[in-house]
């Protein structure tokens, strides 16, 4: 089976690493000459709205999937005429726009921060008057890794905020005084079969994910599965979906969903029976899903900008290196390490060892 992937970054690369043993081959459509997935499959170098190359991709593959959600809607609609596309155009439409996404959560009874659609500075002033400060202003689309958002603490932060984010449609959200951030990675097959990985606790720095730790028997697991299950059913979703929550007052508030494999699920490559990448491919290909059971205690640490010396990373016991083959760049995710340890105290020790390597390299 040949899988077409829109996007050829590290997520596409890891999909191919998981799918190749299943007998799958891959074609990636990505305009970047150095798209790092090209080491693992055919690289169709073209813009995401280039109809000739999209048609070529559709003719070559059995189905198309995505490694990022900001794909133009017309691209998805165009491809859908010729080849099955998972997740669906509707799932992408909702997930790429924070207003549609939060409105869906609200309709499904999933708690969220207070939110308002912002089309002008006047809308923002009115929303701040009702939601209050502090609040977070976010562009409705194209935000990632903390980009496209602004924390509004005091009235002076509000006066020019809409223009500062580019005068594009935005969402204002009440600030959530969270005690933690967790994500749930779920997978749903074409036949509706659904599995959930254990909740993951995530730590960010400067808006970028640094550390994910998979939990054991998290008290909010069942609640998170209930919320995510509602979304999967609503969207008749096929594939892996990541759902990020704020932990607050002993409950959960929905932050956002990603309709794809997700950075907070990378630990599953070594830390779970079947990884998020393999399970995404199984789901979109109509194959039976694999077990999401955790193996031992597991965590993932991102390498941002640069990968520490390979020999030092792999010298750490229980540590598995994933080097994306990307050039150094400040703030760029260039690799990660997965830890899989027999117990929690060993895991904590090994996290400290990798963090120290990151600090000193």
Residues that bind ligand AMP in the complex, under the rule CB under 6 A: 113, 136, 138, 143, 146, 173, 175-176, 181, 204, 207, 244, 255-256
How many Å separate Cα 29 from the centre of its chain?
19
Least distance in angstroms from the C-beta of 328 to ligand AMP: 24
Q: 8: annotated binding-site residue?
A: no
Q: Of 138 and 294, which CB lies nearer to ligand AMP in the complex structure?
A: 138
Alpha-carbon distances of 164 from 115, 122, 127, rounded to whole Å:
19, 14, 17
Q: 132: annotated binding-site residue?
A: no
Q: 144: annotated binding-site residue?
A: yes
How many Å separate Cα 268 from the centre of its chain?
14
Q: 74: annotated binding-site residue?
A: no
Q: 307: annotated binding-site residue?
A: no
Least distance in angstroms from the C-beta of 176 to ligand AMP: 4
Beta strands in 215-328 (DSSP E): 239-248, 251-258, 297-304, 319-323
Q: 175: annotated binding-site residue?
A: yes
Q: Of 48 and 245, which CB lies nearer to ligand AMP in the complex structure?
A: 245
Q: 204: annotated binding-site residue?
A: yes
Q: Say if residues 289 and 273 touch (Cβ distance below 8 Å).
A: no
Least distance in angstroms from the C-beta of 204 to ligand AMP: 5
Structure tokens at 30: 């990505």
Q: Of 7 and 143, which CB lies nearer to ligand AMP in the complex structure?
A: 143
β-pair type (2-6, 63-66): parallel
- Helix ranges (H only) for 34-158 are 51-60, 73-80, 89-95, 98-107, 121-131, 155-158
Least distance in angstroms from the C-beta of 151 to ligand AMP: 8
How many Å separate Cα 131 from the centre of its chain?
28
Least distance in angstroms from the C-beta of 175 to ligand AMP: 4
Least distance in angstroms from the C-beta of 178 to ligand AMP: 6
Q: 102: annotated binding-site residue?
A: no
Q: 173: annotated binding-site residue?
A: yes
Q: Say if residues 14 and 269 touch (Cβ distance below 8 Å).
A: yes
Q: Of 113 and 189, which CB lies nearer to ligand AMP in the complex structure?
A: 113
Q: Of 78 and 175, which CB lies nearer to ligand AMP in the complex structure?
A: 175
Q: 255: annotated binding-site residue?
A: yes
d(CA 244, CA 260): 13
Structure tokens at 258: 């990603």
Q: Of 61 and 110, which CB lies nearer to ligand AMP in the complex structure?
A: 110
Q: Closest Cα partner for 65 from 333, 229, 332, 286?
A: 286
Structure tokens at 206: 């400067």
Helix, strand or coil, per DSSP, at residue 8: coil
Least distance in angstroms from the C-beta of 42 to ligand AMP: 32
Residues in a beta bridge with 215: none
Q: Of 132 and 207, which CB lies nearer to ligand AMP in the complex structure?
A: 207
Structure tokens at 55: 């048609």
d(CA 42, CA 265): 25
Least distance in angstroms from the C-beta of 85 to ligand AMP: 25
Buried b / exposed e across 197-219, counting CB within 10 Å, b at 16+? bbbbbbeeeeebbbbbbbbeebe
Q: Please enumerate, by residue number, every residue annotated as part of a binding site for ATP.
A: 98, 138, 143-149, 173-176, 181, 204, 255-256
Q: Please enumerate, by residue number, every residue annotated as part of a binding site.
A: 98, 138, 143-149, 173-176, 181, 204, 255-256
């Amino acid at each position: 089976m040949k899988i077409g992937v829109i996007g050829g970054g590290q997520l596409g690369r890891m999909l191919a690493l998981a799918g190749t043993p299943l007998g799958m081959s891959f074609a990636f459509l990505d305009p970047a000459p150095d798209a790092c997935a090209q080491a693992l499959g055919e690289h169709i170098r073209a813009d995401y709205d280039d109809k000739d190359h999209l048609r070529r991709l559709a003719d070559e593959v059995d189905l198309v999937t995505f490694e990022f959600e900001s794909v133009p809607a017309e691209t998805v609609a165009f491809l859908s005429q010729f080849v099955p596309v998972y997740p669906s155009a509707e799932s992408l439409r909702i997930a790429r726009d924070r207003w549609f996404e939060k409105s869906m959560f609200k309709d499904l009874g999933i708690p969220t921060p207070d939110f308002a659609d912002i089309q002008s500075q006047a809308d923002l002033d009115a929303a701040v008057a009702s939601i209050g400060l502090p609040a977070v202003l976010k562009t409705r689309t194209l935000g990632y890794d903390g980009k496209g958002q602004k924390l509004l603490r005091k009235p002076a932060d509000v006066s020019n905020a809409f223009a500062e984010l580019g005068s594009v449609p935005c969402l204002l959200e009440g600030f959530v005084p969270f005690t933690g951030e967790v994500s749930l990675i779920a997978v749903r097959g074409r036949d509706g079969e659904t599995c959930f990985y254990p909740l993951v606790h995530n730590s960010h720095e400067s808006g970028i994910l640094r550390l994910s730790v998979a939990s054991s028997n998290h008290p909010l697991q069942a609640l998170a599965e209930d919320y995510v299950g509602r979304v999967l059913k609503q969207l008749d979703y096929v594939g892996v979906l990541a759902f990020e929550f704020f932990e607050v007052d002993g409950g959960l508030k929905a932050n956002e969903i990603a309709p794809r494999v997700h950075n907070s699920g990378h630990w599953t490559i070594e830390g779970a029976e079947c990884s998020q990448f393999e399970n995404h491919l199984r789901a979109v290909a109509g194959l039976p899903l694999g077990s999401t059971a955790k193996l031992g205690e597991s965590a993932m640490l991102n390498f941002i900008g640069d990968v520490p010396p390979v020999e030092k990373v792999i010298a750490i016991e229980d540590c598995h290196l994933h080097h994306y083959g990307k050039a150094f760049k400040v703030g760029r995710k260039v690799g990660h390490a997965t830890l899989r340890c027999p117990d929690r105290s060993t895991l904590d020790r090994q996290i400290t060892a990798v963090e120290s390597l990151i600090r000193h390299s």
